C-alpha cells in the first residue's frame, strides 16, 4: 500500500464493515479519522481494521503549495470580479489545540485563503485582518470598526463586486442586523460567513460557506447585507439569509441559522456553483437614485434585554435605571409579569410600576416575544393594553436581537422621539406586515 497522507481518499476495511472517506490526521494513535461525504468525521479503532486501500491522492494539498502567496491579493485574472474578505474572527478563523480542546481565533485571512484554492476561479480576492475577536465578546465599537472597513474598501476599489466577512456564529445575527441598519443603500453585497467547526478540522463547514458566499457575490445582482451558512447537515448547499430576520437556533449543527418570519433570499448549490433565488424582492431596500451612507453606533450607549420569566421581581427591572432603551422579551403574544390576579401575584403590579418609572425617565421600552415565530399583538388581552397605555412599544414580528440592535442604532443617530417613531417603521425589511404559512420552518 502506498503511504497514506492527510486528505487522501481511502477505503478502510474492518472486520464487519467498509468505510470510504478522506484520511485525517488524528491526535489519538489508537484510531484513524475519515472525513465522510456528509462532511462529518468518523473515528475507526485501529485494532478492528483489516486493510486500508488508497483510492486517490490529495490533489488539494498540491494545489495549496502551488498557490501559496504572501501577497494580499490572490492571483489576478482579468475576467473575474473583485471580492474583498475582511476577517473579524470566530470559529471560522480558529484553530484547535488538540491537547486541551480549546479553540482560539488565530488563523489570519491569508492562512484561511491558502486552504481554499477554488476561490481563484470565482473572483479576484483581496483580504484584510481587521480584528481577531470571538463574537460573544463583540461590542458596538466592533460594528463601527467593520462598517468603517467596508466603507474604506468601497472607496479604495470602485470595481469591487462585494465583501465577505468571516465572523463568529454566536452573535452573527446581531452583526447582520447592525450592518443592515448602518450601511444605508449599500450598492454591493456584504455577506457574513461563519462556521460551526474550526477551519483546521476535517469536518469544517467554513470552506464551503465561504465558497458559496463568493459564488453568490460573483454571480448575483444582490445589494445589501446577508448571512451565508449551510442549508442542511450535508455539504450540498448554503442559504443566503436576510440580515435582519435570521437567528441561530442550534448550538452546534451546521444548519444552525434559520430565517424567522420570512424565507431565505437564495440557495447556493455548492457542487454546481449555481444560485436559486427564493424571493423576487431581494433588493427592495436598495434605491439606485440614493447615495450610499454609513451611520454608526454610540460606543457607550446603554440598551438592555430583560427576558420574562416566572417570579420576576421589581429589582429585575429597576436595575436598568439610567438605560436609554430596554427590550422586554415577553411570552406568547407579548405578555409580561405586570398584572395581579390574586394575592400571590400582587407583586406583579410593582413590576408594572417599575416599567412605568423607566419610561418616565426617558427609557424607550419595547416588547418582543420569546417565541421564534409570529408577532406581538398587544391589543388582545387587558394586561397587554395596560402596558400600551404606560408607553410600552410593540416589537411587531422582529426577533429580540433585531429589536435590540434597531433600537440601539436609532438611539445612536436620532432623538428619542424620532427613535420611537422610526422603530415602528420598516427600515431594512425587519418587519413583515403579513406572515405567510410557508415562512414558518417545519422542523
Distances (CA, A) of 380 to 133, 244, 332, 334, 423: 44, 27, 12, 10, 21
> Kind of pairing, strands 237-242 and 293-294?
unpaired
Distances (CA, A) of 403 to 27, 104, 143, 165, 392: 45, 30, 16, 22, 13
Which among 8, 35, 87, 91 is annotated as catalytic?
91
Contact 261, 397 (CB under 8 A): yes
Indicate which residue of 161, 245, 248, 396 is catalytic: 248
Q: Do residues 266 and 278 make contact, with C-beta atoms less than 8 angstroms apart?
A: yes
Strands (E) across 146-259 are located at 160-166, 183-184, 189-193, 224-230, 237-242, 246-248, 257-259
DSSP helix/strand/coil, 260 = coil
In whole angstroms, what is the distance from residue 228 CA to residue 95 CA?
A: 21
Active site (annotated) includes residue 248: yes
Query: Catalytic: which of 35, 87, 129, 169?
Result: 169
Active site residue 16: no
Alpha-carbon distances of 320 from 289, 302, 328, 330, 402, rounded to whole Å: 42, 9, 11, 16, 20
Residue linked to cell 478522506: 22
Range list of β-strands (E), 57-168: 82-87, 95-97, 102-104, 124-129, 160-166
**Residues in CB range of 98: below 8 A, 6 or more apart:** 27
- Would you call 148 a catalytic residue per the annotation? no
Does residue 97 have an active-site annotation?
A: no
Could you tell me which of 209, 172, 147, 190 has the C-alpha nearest to residue 89?
A: 172
Catalytic residue among 11, 20, 170, 350: 170
Q: What does the angle CA 417 – CA 422 – CA 426 come to, to the nearest 5 degrees?
A: 170
Catalytic residue numbers? Answer: 91, 169-170, 248
Amino acid at each position: 500500500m502506498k503511504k497514506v497522507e492527510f486528505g487522501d481518499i481511502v477505503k478502510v476495511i474492518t472486520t464487519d464493515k467498509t468505510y470510504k472517506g478522506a484520511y485525517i490526521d488524528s491526535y489519538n494513535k489508537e484510531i484513524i479519522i475519515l472525513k465522510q461525504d456528509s462532511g462529518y468525521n468518523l473515528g475507526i479503532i485501529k485494532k478492528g481494521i483489516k486493510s486500508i486501500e488508497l483510492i486517490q491522492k490529495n490533489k488539494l494539498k498540491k494545489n495549496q503549495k502551488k498557490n501559496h502567496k504572501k501577497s494580499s491579493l490572490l492571483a489576478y485574472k482579468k475576467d473575474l470580479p473583485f471580492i474583498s474578505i475582511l476577517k473579524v474572527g470566530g470559529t471560522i478563523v480558529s484553530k484547535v489545540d488538540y491537547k486541551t480542546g480549546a479553540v482560539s481565533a488565530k488563523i489570519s485571512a491569508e492562512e484561511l485563503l491558502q486552504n481554499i484554492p477554488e476561490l481563484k476561479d470565482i473572483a479576484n480576492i483581496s483580504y484584510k485582518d481587521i480584528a481577531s475577536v470571538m463574537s460573544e465578546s463583540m461590542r458596538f465599537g466592533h460594528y463601527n470598526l467593520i462598517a468603517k472597513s467596508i466603507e474604506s474598501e468601497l472607496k479604495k476599489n470602485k470595481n469591487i463586486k462585494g465583501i465577505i466577512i468571516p465572523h463568529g456564529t454566536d452573535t452573527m445575527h446581531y452583526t447582520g442586523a447592525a450592518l443592515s441598519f448602518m450601511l444605508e443603500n449599500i450598492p454591493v453585497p456584504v455577506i457574513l460567513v461563519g462556521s460551526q467547526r474550526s477551519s483546521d478540522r476535517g469536518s469544517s463547514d467554513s470552506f464551503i460557506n465561504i465558497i458559496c458566499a463568493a459564488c453568490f457575490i460573483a454571480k448575483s445582482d444582490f445589494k445589501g447585507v446577508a448571512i451565508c451558512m449551510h442549508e442542511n447537515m450535508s455539504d450540498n448547499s448554503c442559504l443566503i439569509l436576510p440580515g435582519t430576520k435570521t437567528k441561530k437556533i442550534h448550538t452546534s449543527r451546521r444548519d444552525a441559522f434559520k430565517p424567522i418570519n420570512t424565507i431565505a433570499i437564495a440557495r447556493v448549490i455548492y457542487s454546481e456553483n449555481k444560485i436559486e433565488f427564493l424571493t423576487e424582492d431581494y433588493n427592495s431596500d436598495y434605491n439606485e437614485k440614493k447615495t450610499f451612507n454609513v451611520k454608526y453606533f454610540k460606543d457607550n450607549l446603554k440598551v438592555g434585554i430583560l427576558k420574562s420569566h416566572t417570579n420576576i421581581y421589581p429589582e429585575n427591572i429597576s436595575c436598568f435605571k439610567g438605560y436609554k432603551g430596554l427590550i422586554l422579551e415577553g411570552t406568547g403574544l407579548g405578555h409580561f409579569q405586570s398584572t395581579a390576579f390574586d394575592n400571590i401575584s400582587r407583586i406583579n403590579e410593582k413590576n408594572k410600576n417599575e416599567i412605568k418609572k423607566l419610561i418616565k425617565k426617558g427609557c424607550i421600552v419595547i416588547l418582543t416575544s420569546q417565541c421564534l415565530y409570529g408577532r406581538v399583538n398587544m391589543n388582545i388581552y387587558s394586561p397587554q393594553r395596560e402596558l400600551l397605555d404606560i408607553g410600552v412599544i410593540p416589537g411587531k414580528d422582529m426577533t429580540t436581537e433585531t429589536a435590540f440592535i434597531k433600537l440601539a442604532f436609532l438611539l445612536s443617530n436620532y432623538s428619542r422621539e424620532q427613535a420611537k417613531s422610526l422603530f415602528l417603521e420598516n427600515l431594512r425589511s425587519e418587519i413583515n406586515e403579513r406572515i405567510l404559512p410557508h415562512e414558518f420552518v417545519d422542523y
